[in-house]
Amino acid sequence: MEVGLKEQIDGLRKEFQKRLKQVSNTKEIEDLRVHYLGKKGTVTSLMQLLKSCTPEERPEKGQWINKLKEDLDVDLVKAFEKLHDKEMQEQIDQEKIDISLPGRLPLLGRAHPISQTIDEMLDILISMGFSVYHSPEVESDYYNYGGLNYPEDHPARDMQDTYYLDEKTVLRSHTTSFQQRVMEAYDLPIRMACPGKCYRNEEISTRSHVLFHQIDVMYIDQGVTFGDLLSTLEEFYTKLFKEEVEIRVRASYFPFVEPGMEVDVRCTICKGTGCRVCKQSGWLEMCGAGMIHPEVLKAGGIDPDKYSGFAWGGGVERLFLMLRGVSDIRLFLENDMRFLEQFP
């Protein structure tokens, strides 16, 4: 038995050394380890021979097998480390960075073009003394219509224009809905601007959408005049266009102002001679405006005989279309990077 076990051990050792010299990568080393030292490996199976040995023989013969396992394990570790270092060096050589090459600029995020425009408009208004107020997008019928002097039968209240969540709750159809909230919450004088999303049940086209953005502005104090409104508008659009602008007004109707008007700015692209952006008219339509209606002031708890105010507001997308010559309002909501990357 003793001669037979020693012969097997010597034979396994020689076989192992021969196969070890033939390995070329760390995976083959692991395969070799499993073959000889795994739970069902060749060396492990030698332990089964100890069952037929006498109790006196087992310790010595067990040491022979353990010594074989230790020797094979040492040889495997050395071979693995050598091949592993070689493989790592090859990988490093393949992945070497040429520090003389120009660096790659990281891809930075940026604000959406509409968010950029809103921020710019608010910065201008803040510099002119206005504060910013954010009203809820889910609004009551009163704040969206009733408190703004809309008659009960006004077409804008119809389901064709407004998204009703129930009989008394709507998705805000204009940021003008902030007026009564501000009058109720703040002391006079009030100089406030409100930006935000608006929703209207309209057919989606190149010039209109069910979701858009507005900014509304309101100023209430003693002695506020129509001249104050015009001078504020002129200063705001001069700062926005970064050049002195000429404005004109056209009479229009809005339930919450009296008198009401549409405000135009002479086209800054063609200087009034007519172009594609201004549709050959020489003027760009900017916003709706007017003096706050006495009934709106009353609804807000303000005496119209003592105080007066003006309000104006308009769509951000429409302004952007005119400023940057974009032809389709739907592009703002399509998340097409080819479009968005044009406005860094």
pLDDT at 153 over 60: yes
163-201 burial: b if 16+ Cβ within 10 Å, else e = eeeeeeebbbbbbbbbbbbbbeeeeeebbbbbbbebbbe
CA separation, residue 291 to residues 181, 279, 325 (Å): 18, 29, 31
| Of 45, 24, 232, residue with least CA distance to 127 | 232
CA separation, residue 63 to residues 9, 12, 39, 69 (Å): 12, 16, 18, 10
Is residue 248 domain-resident? yes
Residues 81 and 197 in one domain: no
Would you say the pTM of this structure is higher than 0.75? no
pLDDT band at residue 321 under the 50/70/90 scheme:
confident
Q: Say if strands 138-140 and 164-166 run parallel, antiparallel, or are unpaired.
A: unpaired
Report the pLDDT value the prediction gives residue 259, as an integer from 0 to 100. 93
Residues 136 and 282 in one domain: yes
Is residue 126 domain-resident? yes
Is residue 100 domain-resident? no
Report the pLDDT value the prediction gives residue 231, as an integer from 0 to 100. 94
Mean pLDDT of 53-66: 75
pLDDT band at residue 159 under the 50/70/90 scheme:
low
Residues 87 and 150 in one domain: no
pLDDT at 154 over 60: yes
Residues 79 and 194 in one domain: no
Percent of the chain with pLDDT over 90: 42
Q: Say if strands 190-199 and 131-132 run parallel, antiparallel, or are unpaired.
A: parallel
Residues 26 and 122 in one domain: no
Is residue 71 domain-resident? yes
What CATH number did the domain enclosing 312 receive? Answer: 3.30.930.10
Residues 141 and 266 in one domain: yes
Domain count for the chain, please give it. Answer: 2
Report the pLDDT value the prediction gives residue 161, as an integer from 0 to 100. 84
Report the pLDDT value the prediction gives residue 2, as an integer from 0 to 100. 47
Tell which of 94, 125, 145 closes a domain: 94
Residues 224 and 270 in one domain: yes
pLDDT at 39 over 90: no
Q: Give the structural domain span for 7.
A: 2-94
Residues 147 and 190 in one domain: yes
Q: How many CA atoms lie within 13 A of 51 on its CB side?
A: 5
pLDDT at 263 over 60: yes
Mean pLDDT of 165-170: 90
| Of 322, 110, 332, 132, residue with least CA distance to 213 | 332
Report the pLDDT value the prediction gives residue 118, as an integer from 0 to 100. 95
pLDDT tens-digit readout, 230-250: 999 999 999 998 888 888 999
Is residue 233 domain-resident? yes
Tell which of 94, 123, 145 closes a domain: 94
pLDDT tens-digit readout, 103-134: 888 877 888 999 999 999 999 999 999 999 99
Helices (H) and strands (E) in the chain, counts: 11, 10
Report the pLDDT value the prediction gives residue 15, as an integer from 0 to 100. 86
Q: Which residues pair with 290 in a beta bridge?
A: 260, 311
Angle 26-37/2-22 helices, nearest 10 degrees?
170
Mean pLDDT of 186-214: 91
pLDDT band at residue 1 under the 50/70/90 scheme:
very low
pLDDT tens-digit readout, 174-196: 999 999 999 999 999 999 999 99
Is residue 101 domain-resident? no
Report the pLDDT value the prediction gives residue 11, as an integer from 0 to 100. 81
Residues 222 and 259 in one domain: yes
Cβ atoms of 256 and 311 within 8 Å: the answer is yes
Is residue 99 domain-resident? no
Mean pLDDT of 293-303: 95
Residue 334 DSSP code: S
Residues 132 and 63 in one domain: no
Ranges 80-84, 302-306, 320-324, most confident:
302-306
Residues 119 and 36 in one domain: no
Mean pLDDT of 4-17: 80
Range with the lowest mean pLDDT among 54-58, 197-201, 287-291, 297-301? 54-58
Is residue 49 domain-resident? yes
Report the pLDDT value the prediction gives residue 38, as an integer from 0 to 100. 80
Report the pLDDT value the prediction gives residue 171, as an integer from 0 to 100. 94
Tell which of 94, 129, 146 closes a domain: 94
Residue 266 DSSP code: E
Mean pLDDT of 81-89: 81
pLDDT at 92 over 90: no
Mean pLDDT of 20-30: 84
Q: Say if strands 131-132 and 164-166 run parallel, antiparallel, or are unpaired.
A: unpaired
Mean pLDDT of 305-313: 95
Q: What is the mean pLDDT of the chain?
A: 86
Instruction: Quickly count: other Cβ atoms within 10 Å of residue 235's Cβ.
Output: 14
Report the pLDDT value the prediction gives residue 158, as an integer from 0 to 100. 74
- Which of residues 336 and 207 earns the better pLDDT score? 336
Residues 212 and 141 in one domain: yes
